[in-house]
């Protein structure tokens, strides 16, 4: 189960992506690693990982 901070940060990032008129290709929560993984863009050029503290990094 994602944490509240993690879920809020992922929602904000998805909102930024879709406001830029880019598609979200993959949105996945990995239970073992406790991360949310987002892949976006027409050529899948945006890859973001949101950890359980709500911090995100571009991969």
Give one DSSP letter per residue of 2-24, joined into a string: --HHHHHHHHHHHHHHHHTT--E
pLDDT in tens, 7-47: 999 999 999 999 999 999 999 999 999 999 999 999 999 99
Rounded to whole angstroms, the Cα distance separating 30 from 20 reads 26
pLDDT, residue 1, reads: 87
What's the pTM?
Answer: 0.92
CB 50 within 8 A of CB 5: no
User: Domain residues for 50?
Assistant: 4-58
43-52 average pLDDT score: 97
- Domain count of the chain? 1
């Amino acid at each position: 189960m994602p944490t509240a901070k993690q879920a809020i940060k992922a929602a904000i990032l998805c909102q930024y992506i879709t406001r830029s008129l880019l598609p979200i290709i993959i949105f996945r929560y990995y239970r073992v690693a406790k991360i949310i993984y987002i892949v976006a863009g027409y050529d899948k050029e945006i890859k973001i990982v949101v950890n359980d503290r709500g911090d995100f990094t571009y991969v």
